[in-house]
Amino acid sequence: MSFKSVPLSAAAAALFASWGGAARAESGWSLLNMTPGVTEMSRKIYELHMLIFWVCVAIGVVVFGAMLYSIIRFRRDKGAVPDTTMVHNTKVEIIWTIIPVAILIAMAIPAARTLVQIEDLRGTQLTIKVTGYQWGWNYEYMGTGVTFFSRLDRRSDAARQVNSGIDPETVPHYLLNVDNPLVVPVGVKVRLLITADDVIHSWWMPAFGVKKDAIPGFVNESWFKIDPDKTGVYRGQCAELCGRDHGFMPIVVDARTKEDFEAWIKAKAREQKSAAPASAQAPAAASG
């Protein structure tokens, strides 16, 4: 056994061990792919992605197969002689134009259909305004008076400082947690109005199939409807390079049942109403 094969076989063993433990959906080979997500739309996007992927695989196999076959079958030591007289063949040119055009049209039909569905904001039942800031998100539940800021949780923020002395391994969901997650109901079509107040950000939640730029001066729209049985915590990121702390503005969505959500928003509205007069007086008190 050479000295090289020891770490290699150890690495291979570790790799196989990780494959063996690939019981969860988000491990092993599936990590290389898009996730099917937890909304009907994200599944449609995933299926479209897989369809186009397999079309590309088939094209690759045919094209590189024909190339390899030609290289091997018509090599010089087999006595192949190049046909230097053939510079133009109308029939072949028509074929190699029509086939790709037909493939592109066949791919454009499901792609356009999915794009139209992504933009279909009819029948939304809840609207949340999302504003990107350097570096955090503000959420405003339209018509309820509930609004709050969501930024990197304080434990992650403390641990990330240079020479903080805090081991990131001890911080749960290091750099992926926020102080105030966005709370939404499952089974409800939620509309997002996405904008920004300083530079361009992008609200990206892979599990919902939503990634939309947040641009100052513009209001972009998007929507999601989480499967009724998919309550839980979902994580995303700002997906637009937005400055120094771009990597430190995660997104956390807490998806709850309709009843839980209603109770939460009522409590939050009450809490913010009673806190409002106090915070309105605070600047005056500070300046005086």
Residues that bind Cu ion (CB under 5 A): 201, 238, 242, 249
Q: Locate 192 and state its tokens.
A: 């997002």
Residue closer to Cu ion (CB basis): 183 or 239: 239
Token duo for residue 232: 């839980």
- Residue closer to Cu ion by CB (options 242, 253) is 242
Distance CA 122, CA 128 (A): 15
Render 184-218 in DSSP notation, one character per residue.
EETTS-EEEEEEESSS-EEEEEGGGTEEEEE-BT-
Minimum Å distance from CB 242 to Cu ion?
Answer: 3
- Shorter beta-carbon distance to Cu ion: residue 210 or 249: 249
Cα–Cα distance for residue pair 250/208, rounded to 1 Å: 15
Q: Rank residues 151 and 201 by Cβ distance to Cu ion and give the closer one.
A: 201
Contacts 24+ apart (CB under 8 A), 103-110: 103/55, 103/59, 106/55, 107/51, 107/52, 107/55, 110/48, 110/51
Integer Cα distance of 250 and 153 in angstroms: 9
What three-state secondary structure class fits 256?
strand
Cβ 213 to Cu ion, closest distance in Å?
A: 10
Question: What is the nearest approach in angstroms of Cu ion to the Cβ of residue 194?
Answer: 12
Question: Closest approach of Cβ 18 to Cu ion, in Å?
Answer: 32
- Report the nearest approach of Cu ion to the CB of residue 229 (Å): 32
Residue 78 or 244 with smaller CB distance to Cu ion: 244
Q: Which C-beta is closer to Cu ion: that of 38 or that of 194? A: 194
Peptide bond into 29 cis (omega under 30): no
**Angle value at C-alpha 128, between 127 and 130, nearest 5 degrees:** 145
Q: 223: part of which helix (H) or strand (E)?
A: strand 220-224
CB of 31 to Cu ion, least distance (A): 24
**Of residues 205, 211, 208, the one with CA closest to residue 188:** 208
Q: How far is the CB of 195 from Cu ion (least distance, A)?
A: 12
Q: Please say which residue, 47 or 197, places its beta carbon nearer to Cu ion.
A: 197
**Do 140 and 129 touch, CB atoms closer than 8 A?**
yes
